[in-house]
Amino acid sequence: MATMIAVIGIGVFYTFISWGVVVGNGPDKAVELASGPTPFDLLYVPTAQYLGPWAVTVFEWLVVGGSFACALAIHNSAARYLFAFGRDGLFWRRLGEAHPKHASPWVASLTQSVFAAALVAVCSLTRSDPYADLFVLVAILATLLLLIVQTMCSVATVIYFHVKKQHPETASWWRTLAAPIIGGLGMVYVIYLMASNMQAAAGTASDTLFFKAIPYLVVGLFAGSMAVALYLRKVRPELYERIGSTIYDDHEPVREPDYPSSR
């Protein structure tokens, strides 16, 4: 219920904000500002017009806080993936190590921090804008990949329950068939919209090599991950079966040892 409320609420809120931006600037001006060097003017210009300069200053601080929250969420997701990889034994096992006091994935989090710092250092050396070039383009790439994964999850749900007939007692015409199909088709349409408007979303960063490499990165990551999975399934089936299973290990009930009865 909490997930549904969050997803629907955020979706309605985003739709309202997008509508407000277009109405406040006008359709043509909104596209022009979004593709220009200062895309934040989409929000700052109507804010200054209708509320005054003080509201723009408040908005700028909110953007800083919101950007930090977004970066923190991405960092947390990346660290959790690394933590899961380490626990499953896919890569360096220390990635799956929890802090002895705080029980946090500290090795995975530190690894992600070092990687992010290295990327920022590269931007500094190449005199690139860390926000406009790195943050924006990584966000576009990550969002595109996430949409693809969500589409694959919808397909996998239908195949698992209705093609392979797994757990038929929990299958449902709505939850495991109609809803995944509708959601998957919706995701495909969103992917199309994002791909066709990606240059406008990137703004001035659309001239960078990173932006031009995004389609190749998507295809490469997709093909590479499939190749790794097929390799592990054939060469190391025990490791392949363990992927994603550690979460169940934590919830297995503790069983008493089966001692022989004495008479």
- Residue 2 belongs to a domain: no
Instruction: Quote the percentage of the chain above a pLDDT of 70.
Output: 93
For the segment 66-81, what is each residue's pLDDT rounded down to a tens digit? 888 888 888 898 898 8
Helix 41-50 / helix 27-35 crossing angle, nearest 10 deg: 130
- Residue 191 belongs to a domain: yes
Q: What is the pLDDT of residue 36?
A: 72
- Of residues 37 and 138, the one with the higher pLDDT is 138
Average pLDDT value for residue range 167-173: 89
- Residue 114 belongs to a domain: no
- Residue 223 belongs to a domain: yes
For residue 197, count other CB atoms closer than 10 A to its CB.
13
Token pair listed for 177: 């068939």
H, E, C per residue of 47-102: HHHHCCHHHHHHHHHHHHHHHHHHHHHHHHHHHHHHHHHHHHCCCCHHHHCCCCCC
**Identity (one letter) of the amino acid at 211?**
F
Q: What is the pLDDT of residue 231?
A: 93
| Mean pLDDT of the residues in the chain | 86
- Residue 190 belongs to a domain: yes
Domain that includes residue 228, residue range? 129-246
Strand runs labelled E in the chain:
none
Q: What is the pLDDT of residue 253?
A: 46
Measured distance CA(243)–CA(91) in Å, rounded: 11
For the segment 216-263, what is each residue's pLDDT rounded down to a tens digit? 999 999 999 999 999 999 998 988 888 877 665 554 444 444 444 444
Q: Model's pTM, two decimal places?
A: 0.75
- Of residues 129 and 64, the one with the higher pLDDT is 64
- Residue 134 belongs to a domain: yes
Number of structural domains the chain divides into: 1
If pLDDT is split at 50, 70 and 90, which confidence band does 139 have?
confident
**H helix and E strand count, the chain:** 11, 0
User: Are 48 and 55 within 8 A, CB to CB?
Assistant: yes
- Residue 54 belongs to a domain: no
Average pLDDT value for residue range 121-125: 84
Q: What is the pLDDT of residue 186?
A: 92
Token pair listed for 189: 């349409």
Q: What is the pLDDT of residue 259?
A: 42
- Residue 252 belongs to a domain: no
Q: What is the pLDDT of residue 247?
A: 62
Average pLDDT value for residue range 164-169: 89
Q: What is the pLDDT of residue 131?
A: 77
Q: What is the pLDDT of residue 248?
A: 54
Token pair listed for 23: 């109405």
Average pLDDT value for residue range 113-137: 84
The pair phi, psi for residue 81, each rounded to 5°, is -65, -45
